[in-house]
Structure 1
Amino acid sequence: MSQVPSPHSLLLVEDHRDIAALIFEYFEKRGYTLDHAADAITGLHLAVSNTYDVIILDLRLPGMDGLSVCEKLRREARLTTPILMLTARDTLQDKVAGLEAGADDYLVKPFDLLELEARVRSLIRRHRAELTPEVLRVGDLSLDLGTQEVHRAGERLEISPTGKKILKLLMRASPNLVTRREIEREIWGDELPDSDTLRSHLYNLRKAVDKPFREPMICTVQSLGYRLIKPHAEQTENQP
């Protein structure tokens, strides 16, 4: 059966020639267009100079590792293109480090090309949905899903990529409870971190969202999870 041509474009940053050749052959047969960089500097240049649907980024690269490349793309170039990180390291600590650097997904070598394509397609669908002009609002807090900018009371907040993912879950559910397990599975999948990892992310999120302001919005429901509520003053004003 012939493959349906895909309009999607990918950037592959991978220094292992055999792996790069296999990925190229597989995706080109399915109608994708690809650019390839065998080192970090070339990868950075291509990523900021062109538009891609997904960047497939190897963790170990000559000149600069994939974590540093990912951080530069997110924090310096402000690039929102989905990033799928490839690595031979399969520890939870490595996965958390990749996600914290701004990666959207993480695939351990060796991998099946069918799974790689499934993850690429999932990232494309998710990113296109987030590019729709949607802004989440709870009280004076807003999260623009297109630009990924967070504001409260007109002030821009600096929040990590993982913190924004948690905040998005809380805002979509507000004022209802989101359990710890729901947050962990959404962010880390089946590779659940230890309890201190989520606690650390919530601590940093609270520092950004609550600490600079008079009224907190992130509430802990003991032993269950978290809720995001409007400031008390605004709730009072909206009561009949």
Structure 2
Amino acid sequence: MTPYILVVEDEDALATLLDYNLMKEGFRIERAADGEEALLKISEEAPDLVVLDWMLPKVSGVEVCRQIRAGTETRRTPVIMLTARSEEADKIRGLETGADDYVVKPFAMSELVARIRALLRRTRPELLDERLEYGDLLLDRARHRVTRSGQDVHLGPTEYRLLDFLMQRPGRVFSRERLLDAVWGANTYVELRTVDVHVGRLRKALRKPNSPDLIRTVRSAGYALDADV
């Protein structure tokens, strides 16, 4: 699954530069030009990391960071604060607000990318791993290949993305709405039953004789990659 980064920056030239360079590095990028828009986007789909400007219109970067830390779904989301402020007291305030890192403008893009990867490696290592393993199930991102007990599992593109997402968080139950956002995209409008159809196809493809299904249905809650393999 491609790491999703929300870039919150009101300077259009810098936002465009960040967008271009981070996409080139293989990240999925969304942009917000002010704090209010950032909070709306975060409520629609929790990012894997936020690059956040300190000085923003409507809602400040400091307040956005506070609200990220207060959210149930986002309290562990890594935040890198971008700012022109270089005073030690300002850095301390940013970190005390909940930022994980602090980058002073102007900065080298290579440094920012390195800090992003370091944070993701610490907080969400599964997003950067080339191979995901769960029991006898292996998903090899580099080769775009899935095997179970050494045998190839043939999946369509949607089933592959669905499995990738579930393998990042085995045992956790995800609602149909959350799976739609993560696999199809927050701005894609498809019916909830579409999730059921693709989960059914994935379950059938993974099925092995005399073994329990790896995909568990939790009534009125959603689906999970079963923890008991």
Q: Does 2:28 align with 1:33?
A: yes
List structure 1 segments (4+ residues) > 6 angstroms apart after TM superposition. Answer: none
Secondary structure of the corresponding residue to residue 65 of structure 2: helix
- 2:80 aligns with one of 84, 90, 93: 84
Q: Does 2:127 align with 1:109?
A: no
For 1:74 and 1:127, how far apart are their aligned partners in 2? 15
- 1:120 aligns with one of 116, 127, 136: 116
For 2:123 and 2:12, how far apart are their aligned partners in 1? 29
Secondary structure of the corresponding residue to residue 99 of structure 1: helix
Aligned to 2:138: none
Q: Does 2:57 align with 1:62?
A: yes
For 1:123 and 1:55, how far apart are their aligned partners in 2? 11
Change (3 A) 1:53 1:47: same
- Cα-to-partner distance string for 1:167-189 (whole Å, 9 max, x where unaligned): xxxxxxxxxxxxxxxxxxxxxxx
For 2:103 and 2:80, how far apart are their aligned partners in 1? 7
Counterpart amino acid of residue 101 in structure 2: D
For 1:1-240, list aligned pairs within 5 A: 7-77=2-72, 79=74, 80-128=76-124
For 1:76 and 1:8, how far apart are their aligned partners in 2? 20
For 2:27 and 2:71, how far apart are their aligned partners in 1? 28
For 2:71 and 2:36, how far apart are their aligned partners in 1? 14
Gaps of 5+ in 2: 128-229
8 A Cα contact 2:52 2:81, kept in partner? yes
For 1:125 and 1:29, how far apart are their aligned partners in 2? 19
Counterpart amino acid of residue 11 in structure 1: L
Secondary structure of the corresponding residue to residue 56 of structure 2: coil
Counterpart amino acid of residue 44 in structure 1: L
Change (3 A) 1:15 1:94: same
Q: CA deviation at 1:78?
A: 5.6
Secondary structure of the corresponding residue to residue 74 of structure 1: helix
Secondary structure of the corresponding residue to residue 81 of structure 2: strand
Aligned residues: 127
Aligned to 1:238: none
For 1:57 and 1:73, how far apart are their aligned partners in 2? 11
For 1:77 and 1:61, how far apart are their aligned partners in 2? 24
Gaps of 5+ in 1: 1-5, 132-240
For 2:25 and 2:2, how far apart are their aligned partners in 1? 10
